[in-house]
Amino acid sequence: MALASKSIEELLGDEAEDLLTHKCETISKDKLYLPSGSYVDDVWYQSDRNPRVLRNLQALLDHGRLGGTGYTSILPVDQGVEHSGGASFAPNPDYFDPENIIKLAIEGGCNGVASTFGVLGAVARKYAHKIPFIVKINHNELMTYPNTYDQVMFGSIERAYEMGAAAVGATIYFGSEESSRQIQEVARAFERAHELGLATILWCYTRNSAFKVDGEDYHASADLTGQANHLGVTLQADIIKQKQPTNNGGYKALNMGDSSYGKLDEDIYNKLASEHPIDLTRYQVANCYMGRAGLINSGGGSGKNDFAQAVRTAVINKRAGGMGLISGRKAFQRPLEEGVKLLNFIQDVYLDDDITVA
């Protein structure tokens, strides 16, 4: 049974009226390419993507409970690499077994499942034809001592293609010392993926200790993440994965004093965005070539009030003009039934016709 609009309002609590009735006065929704059942025909058919890429994008958008809507709900489970398998799966050891990850994605009604070469390869013959696979091709591993923070390739595009994947995913730490190499590696990988007909999803993260200024963390600022998104689409990512903005003004903070970091225009803050979370996320969508590449936001780590937080994130993404959510730890770090329920709650936001683009 779908989550009723009243239940969504209850989960949003005191923010319900503001989030559900807000009208975006910054960048008009009329200027955006919005998710729809004909999204591939309307947007990607105009591009240089070959028919095999279009087929796989359509397969991803047609699968699961959100199939045919243009919206996506993806289960990502690659935390076993960066966060360690023990730390990630201790709350629910069943997920040390890759098959249970796939089962959660299927029973949860997801459009696709994103994971490692190892996880998806272990069960590819049994499941690659039952749910679209998204192979994460690079990772940051934290076994090196002391820890380093870098995305390195864990396999080849050819290997992902051979296991029957519909898409590949990668991460770039924009702003990091290693970002130039990562940009070149991912650009080559995405070019090869498109040649073979695989869709591409880019995790456009920012990472630099300098992005914390006077106690304020700007890693999730709308201006910095927006530019990361813009670079991601420039690398020909078909879908952009980004953390939802928590503030704005990263460029302005970094330009204080003797620094001349980055380029900015005051209109970014005064006309193209406001302090409202929907407007901040709208700015992220605009940087995805006005929505030509779909924006999916992350669900964040698990914690208190997971169901309310997941619904809130989905409402903001949808009303901003985004394409969906990619939520992992909130779902797999709990019993299967609860994980399915959480994923369904997210999907119900996108299935609710009363929740419209602001």
CA atoms within 13 A on the CB side of 8: 26
Distance CA 173, CA 137 (A): 14
Distance CA 292, CA 327 (A): 22
Question: Which tokens sit at 152?
Answer: 């390195």
Write 23-28 long-range contacts (CB < 8 A, 24+).
Answer: 23/358, 24/278, 24/279, 24/282, 24/319, 24/320, 24/358, 25/274, 25/279, 26/271, 26/272, 26/273, 26/274, 26/279, 26/282, 26/283, 27/272, 27/282, 27/283, 27/285, 27/286
Active-site choice (6, 31, 136, 241): 241
What lies within 8 Å, CB to CB, of 130 at 6+ separation is 102, 106
- Cα separation values, 143 from 86, 153, 169, 212, Å: 13, 15, 22, 25
Distance CA 280, CA 52 (A): 34
Say whether 241 is catalytic.
yes
Residues acting as catalytic residues: 241
